[in-house]
A and B are shown apart, each in its own frame.
Chain A
Amino acid sequence: MKETINDEIQLKAEKNIAYLKELLEDNSDVIFRSFNVGNWKAALVYIDGMADKLLLDHYVLEPLMLYPKGMESVEQIKDNILLVTDLHEVKKLSEGVNAALSGDTLMFIDELDCAYVIATRFWPARGVGDPSGETVIRGAREGFTETVRFNTALIRRRIRDTRLRITPKAIGARSKTDVAIMYIDDIVNKEVLHELQRRIDKINIDAVFDSAYIEQLIEDNKYSPFPQIQSTERPDVVAAALYEGRVALVVDNSPFAIIVPATLPNLFQSPDDYYQRWMHSSMVRLIRMLSIIISLTAPALYVAITSFHTAIIPTKLAYAIAASREGVPFPAFVEAIMMELFLALLMEAVVRLPRPIGATIGIVGGLIIGQSAVSAGIVSPIMIIIVAITAITTFVTPNYEVTAAFRLVRFLLIIASAIVGLYGIVIGLILLLIHLVRMKSFGIPYLAPAVDTNIKDLKDMYIRAPISKLKERPKYMKTGDKIRQK
């Protein structure tokens, strides 16, 4: 998979160019430009479309070709003539080739045993836009873009601290995708950091297209539906996580940064929780918790109660349900699975379609089919209500991946309740709890701070205490510097 490149840089520029031409043959976008600097021969190599041609013309070629007089040694070219700020030497040809392939310009000059890399990366990029997946009512409207450097800058703007570290890494034997590992040196949990670096070094893949690839390659438990790493397109979320002692990974070509470790209570939080007043945020958090329980159990409870435990609910309600189910040919279980599948289909369809058609699908799918299904006697109206409640409560959770995981669990609970009723639901929930309890994200318990409880952490979990009361960083993160405010 890995390519072997002759690392030696020849003293003649022409020889280097000849070698590179052979290496990169049949490539229309690689530009080789040979020219004279006084008595020396020189050559430039760059990729058309990724390098800034104007910069090369005006600040590299123009001074070199027009004013090379009075030059005594070849070292003076760098010190006296080249008008670019970001320039460094490479001793190995492979490093130079990598730089050229990522948009920098490689420069060879006769009599030099090294090559110059001029930073000329420039390509059409999407500007900083709204983070459409994580909207907030109050707070920054900036979202990450596809360029790793812009993204690190967005984070750096929020952490003007000398102790912020942005260490580079290239992942993918062929794609050589730039990845930046970010953390604040004296706050970060060192064990998490080392574990992350170890896992990243173990990655041996040809290409990564998105941070999702890396996320799936380094997560703890591959056989769990739950996301164990947080992904976000908001720089303020990343900055806040760094201040809590977590580590962030910014990946080139991906507008999503990933944050490790993630805990489940963490994934239920939205940046808005901190931007709104604390009472409101606390209430929202409690409602979110309630809505998760409802969305998990509502259809399963319906199946259990209608097929096993009709005695639990009041007689009048039992009659009402029975009356509404009269004429429905399917058992409650089939009805529930059918409607849940339909809901899943609808959600998937709306995501994939362009927005104007998405609305049509919503109306046709939700309103018309729902209404007609009831009047045709295929589903009972109560089932429609249950599915609607489930859908709404699902969307209260800010994280899509958690929602998807809980949707899967919901299906399993419906099946369990169809077999053994309430007992099945409880056993299913116990299994879920055991699964969550056994999981860890980079050594941090997945359910922290709900387990290994430290009373101080609870101020920022079920509720969100006033910011003036949140004086310490989360205990469960085992951070270096522990105090946030005095």
Chain B
Amino acid sequence: MICIIFYVEVETILKDKKIIGDFGLFTTIVVGMVGIGIFSCPKEVIDKVGSDAWIVTLMGGIVIFLLLYLIYMVVKKNDFQEFSNILQINFGKLLGGIFAIAFAIYSIFIVSLGMREFVEVIRLFLLRQTPSEFILITTILTGTYLVRGEIGDLVKFNEISFWIMFIPVFVVFILIAVNADFTNMLPILNNEPANYFKASRYILFCFGGIEIAYLILPYVKNKKNSLRVLRKSIMFVSFFYIVVMILVLAVFSKTQSKILLWPTISMIRSLYIPGTFIERWEGIVMALWILFYFTTFVNTYFFSSEIIKNVFKLKDIKLSSLLIMPFIYVIALYPENIAEIYTLQFKTTPVILMAIFLFIILPILILLIGEVKKRKGRGKSLHEI
């Protein structure tokens, strides 16, 4: 009897699971993508291509949109099912499960490295004497509190965070732009083509986080509109990154941007508004940045927990989030220093290969298999006739 009641409840949950509106989709993609990368990205990109950084960012945006389009196609061709289901339908139970777990591990790996960078930034600018472990644990626990909820709660959180994050940041940007020297953006297109490719690697990592679309798309209410919304969100993020690149260039010029560890923070630091109550803005902006990283973290965390839950057929996400928690902690504490974080992220071949496999090869494979199956199915039905 209890089983039946439980089953009925599950049924009703599945029935009205299409809960996410257009704005929820938009904000989830945006806040999931904009993360800690924004601190270090300008340095690496400007180092490679100088004043053409914003062009590379624009190109990165276009490439990322294509990748997101791939994700959209994969989900759409599979009737908006959940990600691990899609994988298991196309590759079989075992192989699909392995791919799904690989995806979760990769996401957790990247987001944990980001976590370490975040902790270091916080320690440098806000809390010099607090041990990293404390900041780590509090952030992870806070994230767990949200992950233990439903996906609708996550999206609502994203919706509200979006306003809290971007309104003050754009105000700060306008104030910075007043004192910037925009002639620093010249010359344009003055680099070897190879350099653009080198730089694009960093910018693509900066755009990381699009995999959240796999999680969110199955729950979207208005499916016809979602591609348009996805395009809008990529445009928004690209615009945001381009503004950051341009401002960093305009404030520091390319020679200085290369030396700074986190040019974005230094740029905010240079902000001086006479007559205000607050003198050094980086403290306030850092407080805001906690939210920027936190949203990326919590979305990825939710996504990975959901995958683990589905692959191992766990009862609910509370258990899988608990399983992932120690991994985040250990991976985040693994690098010795900030330089090592960057080496792990950008210069380790397995990580790069993994990214290429997961974001380019895997979706194409799924689409191909789907196509083959469809033809087979058609052949069968013809045969039956």
Contact = CB atoms under 8 A, between A and B. Distances in A.
B94 to A, nearest CB: 36
B9 interface: no
A317 B277 CA distance: 8
Interface stretch (A169-177, A381-389, A445-453): A445-453
Nearest to A317: B277
B80 interface: no
B126 A309 contact: yes
Kindly name the residue among A311, A314, A435, A438 whose own CB sees the greatest number of chain B CB atoms within 10 A: A438
A308 interface: yes
Given A311-B280, A312-B284, A453 B21 contact: yes
A445 B126 CA distance: 34
B21 to A, nearest CB: 6
Interface string A307-339: 011011111010000000000000000000000
Given A313-B277, A452-B21, A421 B290 contact: no
Interface stretch (A124-132, A255-263, A422-430): A422-430
Interface in B120-140: 122, 126-127, 130, 134-135, 138-139
Contact of A452 (B146, B150, B156): B156
Given A426-B291, A452-B24, A453-B159, A315 B279 contact: yes
A314 B126 contact: no
B160 interface: yes
A311 B283 contact: yes
A156 B91 CA distance: 64
A431 interface: yes
Contacts, number: 90
Kindly name the residue among A311, A434, A435 whose own CB sees the greatest number of chain B CB atoms within 10 A: A434
Interface residues of A, number: 28
B197 interface: no
A312 B280 contact: yes
Nearest to A416: B138
A451 B279 contact: no
A437 interface: yes
Contacts of B153: 434, 437-438
A445 B19 CA distance: 12
A3 to B, nearest CB: 32
A345 interface: no
A430 B279 contact: no
B368 interface: no
B204 interface: no
A434 B279 contact: no
Interface in B277-301: 277-280, 283-284, 286-288, 290-291, 294
A282 to B, nearest CB: 18
A433 interface: yes
Contacts of A433: 157, 160-161
Interface residues of B, number: 35
A420 interface: yes
A84 B325 CA distance: 73
B170 interface: no
Given A312-B280, A438-B153, A420 B127 contact: yes
Interface string B147-162: 0011011001101110
A427 B283 contact: no
Contacts of A447: 156, 160
Nearest to B295: A430
B290 A430 contact: yes
Contacts of A421: 126-127
A421 B123 CA distance: 12
B88 to A, nearest CB: 30
Contact of A438 (B149, B160, B284, B291): B149
A181 B26 CA distance: 40
Contacts of A435: 145
A423 B127 contact: yes
Contacts of B279: 311-315
Contacts of B283: 309, 311-312, 422
A453 B142 contact: no
Contact of A422 (B145, B160, B287): B287
A451 B159 contact: yes
B285 to A, nearest CB: 11
Given A314-B279, A422-B126, A430 B156 contact: no
A425 B126 CA distance: 12
Interface in B136-188: 138-139, 142, 145-146, 149-150, 152-153, 156-157, 159-161
A431 B146 CA distance: 8
Contact of B290 (A317, A426, A437, A445): A426
Contact of B142 (A308, A309, A430): A430
Nearest to B139: A427
A312 B286 CA distance: 11
A427 B277 CA distance: 23
> 8 shortest A-B CB distances, which residue pairs?
A451-B156, A312-B283, A314-B279, A437-B156, A426-B290, A434-B146, A438-B149, A422-B287
Given A313-B279, A426-B290, A437-B149, 16 more contacts: A308-B126, A311-B283, A317-B277, A420-B134, A427-B138, A427-B142, A430-B142, A431-B142, A434-B146, A434-B149, A450-B159, A450-B160, A451-B156, A451-B159, A451-B160, A452-B156
21 contacts: A309-B126, A309-B283, A312-B278, A312-B280, A313-B278, A420-B130, A421-B127, A422-B283, A423-B122, A423-B287, A426-B290, A430-B291, A431-B142, A434-B149, A434-B157, A437-B153, A438-B146, A445-B156, A450-B160, A452-B159, A453-B21
Interface of B: 21, 23-24, 122, 126-127, 130, 134-135, 138-139, 142, 145-146, 149-150, 152-153, 156-157, 159-161, 277-280, 283-284, 286-288, 290-291, 294
